[in-house]
Each structure stands twice: as structure tokens, then as C-alpha cells.
Amino acid sequence: MASIDKKVTAEFLPFFRVYNDGSVERLLGSPTVPPTPEDPQTGVSSKDITISQKPAISARLYIPKLTQPNEKFPILVYFHGGAFCVESAFSSDHQRYLNSLVSQAQVLAVSVEYRLAPEHSLPNAYEDSWAAFQWVAAHSIYNGGVGEDAKEKWLSDHGDFKRVFTGGDSAGANIAHNITMRAGAEKVNKIGGINILGAFLTHPLFFGSKPIGSESCEGHEKSLACSLWDYMYPGAPGGADNPLMNPVGPGAASLAGLGCSRLLVTVAEKDGLRDRGVFYYNAVKESGWGGEMELIEVEGEDHAFQIIHFGTENAKNLIKRLASFLLIYT
């Protein structure tokens, strides 16, 4: 029998190609690396854990070097970027970035490995991320949601559930926003044993059907961002204005419901998503939300530079600012 030629059925450069046999070729993303018992540069230890078998949700945990046996650290639930379709919590880029952030901020980080589109259409990534957040919250001694045998010891022994943060870069920042909104709607801070102190959104991936700021008016609804969203989330209610992607669009919940008390938004001057990040920041500010907030813009830099160009002065400075945000309650 003659073999069937492998043909491209969908292509979204620079992210991925889909072939007629259903396979996906990813064109971006750093290689995955194993966790390290103790990183020689930072002293941070990491390990991989399974949160759920069905669906497949896992995470890489990071903990700073202990100075005493019963030491407690704030908890950061972190979501990696990659346009919902590339990158990983196990990538080398995020490993070195989080080693640095965890060391400087002295936090226990849970970096969530959610399922990627297009094999797993959205909103799976959001549901996986919420399940991971609930798994973390269930470790609270007040919560009783995880049996002693099933508890992850780094979290139960060294996590301070009264000092919880969410955070992420790019698509991960979008997820962090949505998880924090859902936590506010479900009153997680009031009914559980946890307290979400803050959220940081680094170069958040937000979009909408109508252009804002410097976004081009011509062909906006056929842009890569809109086309990719439609492909990854077929039939999304509201299309590009679905509240998951456009937090200020029609039908989106009031940003006053953001379920934390502090918010840090960072943008980069040359990033095509810069105006969306600033617009989001101003929308939260005008919503009546009662928390403290800060906007940081880094001149001369582009999207996710603190990860892609790790080690540069601007990258070091931004990581230091993120660490300071997390350190304020330590």
C-alpha cells in the first residue's frame, strides 16, 4: 500500500504546523530539562510532581535552600507563557528564570504544566490551571482537601498558605489573571485556609476584536492573534472578545472582583502587547478594585525579554523587581 503524503493542514507561524495525520510540529520553545536537587548558582531545589492523571496535569516545584527545618515560605503558583501552544513548565528557559526568582524572592513556587493547544483546545489550559490552583489550596491544614498520604511535603511542610501569590508571563499572565478572578468570584480567601496576597502579570497576552492604541486597524480581525485564538478555541463565546482573552470586553466580569490585594503589571516598550497591558492596568484602576497596584514599563525591550534574554541587565533588574513584589510580606 502506498504511503499517504504528509501535508500541512494548518500553519501558524512562528508557533506550529498541523499535518493531515493529526501530528503537530512546534517551531518555538526551549528544550525541556530535568529538575535539579540543588541548583549550583542559586541553591534552589526543584522536583516534578503529578497533580492529576486524567486529565494529565503536572508541575515543577521549586524551594529555596532551607536555613531551618520548619522554615515556611510564601507560595507562588506560576503559569508559563507560550501563546497557549508552545513552551513548558519543564523548559530550560523557565528553569533558570524561576531558579533566580525563587532564590531572590524566597518563595516556594509551583510551576504548572497545563495541556497545550492545538491538541487540547482551549479552555483546557484554564481548567487545568484552576485544578492545579485548587490542588495547592487543598494542602492548607485548614482545608482538609488532601489526605495526609497524598499531600506534597514541600507544600504541607514549608508552604505558608496565608501568603499566596499567582503570576505568569505572556499567556501565563493571562491565565494568572483569570485564576485570580475566579478565586475572587468563588471567595477562596474567605472560605479556605489560604490568602491570595497578590498577582504579577508580566507582558500579559490580552486581545480583542477591536484595535486599541498602536494596534493596526487594517485587518485586525484577521490578525495572527485573532486567527490563532479562533483555531485554538473553536466556537469560543464572543470570539476574540471572550472574557478569557479580553478582560474588558462585552460580558466580562468587573475587574473589581480580582481576588487579591496587590497587583503588579509589567510591560515592555517594543512589545506588540504593550498597549493591552497598559489598558488592562488602567481598567483595573478604574474598576473600583480596592487593592494596591503598580505598572512597570521597561524601555527598549520586547516581549518576555526577562526569560528570552536572561542574564542581561534589564532582565536582572526586572526579576529583582518581581522578587521585591513577592518579598514585601516576608
Residues catalogued as catalytic: 170, 271
At 233, the amino acid letter reads Y
- Identify how many contiguous H helices and E strands the chain contains and give both numbers: 9, 11
Spatial distance between the Cα atoms of 22 and 229, rounded to a whole number of angstroms? 19
For 114, 241, 295, the CA distances from 264, given in Å and listed in that order, are 23, 23, 6
- CB-count burial class (<10 Å; 0-12, 13-18, 19+) for 295: middle
For 135, the grid coordinates are 490542588
Which residues make Cβ contacts (< 8 Å) with residue 229, sequence separation at least 6?
122, 207, 236, 239, 240, 245
Determine the 3-state secondary structure of 153 from DSSP.
helix
Residue 136: enclosing H or E segment and its boundaries?
A: helix 124-137
Which residues make Cβ contacts (< 8 Å) with residue 304, sequence separation at least 6?
81, 169, 170, 202, 203
- Residue 261 C-alpha from the chain's centroid: 18
Spatial distance between the Cα atoms of 294 and 211, rounded to a whole number of angstroms? 24
Residue whose C-alpha cell reads 490563532 in the numeric block: 228
Determine contact, residues 43/96, Cβ cutoff 8 Å: no
Long-range contacts of 16-24 (CB under 8 A, 24+ apart): 16/85, 16/86, 16/118, 18/118, 24/118, 24/119
Spatial distance between the Cα atoms of 110 and 125, rounded to a whole number of angstroms? 16
